[in-house]
Amino acid sequence: MSGLDKNRFRNITISFWVSPEEKAELEARIKVCGMPKGEYFIKSLLHQRIEISVGKYKSDRLALELKKLREVFDNVTVDSELREVVNESLALLTQLQKVITDNTVSVEDFATK
């Protein structure tokens, strides 16, 4: 089966467990959207807002350090064996930096929790 996937753009499968009620709700949402299942899951998972609850000072410092680390990874030359690890690290750092810079936390956010 894996030999059939070599030339596919999306050749990796991700799966997870859901309850029968969650499955029914997911299927209903997919029908309402009118998208293919795969496209629905990809858009839902990759384009949702992620929030991290930290103070403004800490998130600014973390975002700066992540940006520096990402820039170092961008300039690293590695052989093909390490390329996948570097690409995964770059993707993680990019997402973390985006989450931190997009996320705003105020005192009121902590008061309601």
Domain spans, the chain:
2-46, 56-111
Q: Tens digits of per-residue pLDDT, 1-11?
A: 555 667 778 88
Q: Is 40 a residue whose pLDDT tops 50?
A: yes
What predicted TM-score, i.e. pTM, was given to this entire model? 0.45
Q: Tens digits of per-residue pLDDT, 55-112?
A: 666 667 777 777 787 777 777 777 776 777 777 777 777 777 777 666 644 444 444 4
Of 55, 51, 63, 52, which Cα lies nearest the Cα of 107?
Answer: 55
Average pLDDT of the segment spanning 31-60: 79
Q: Is 52 a residue whose pLDDT tops 70?
A: no
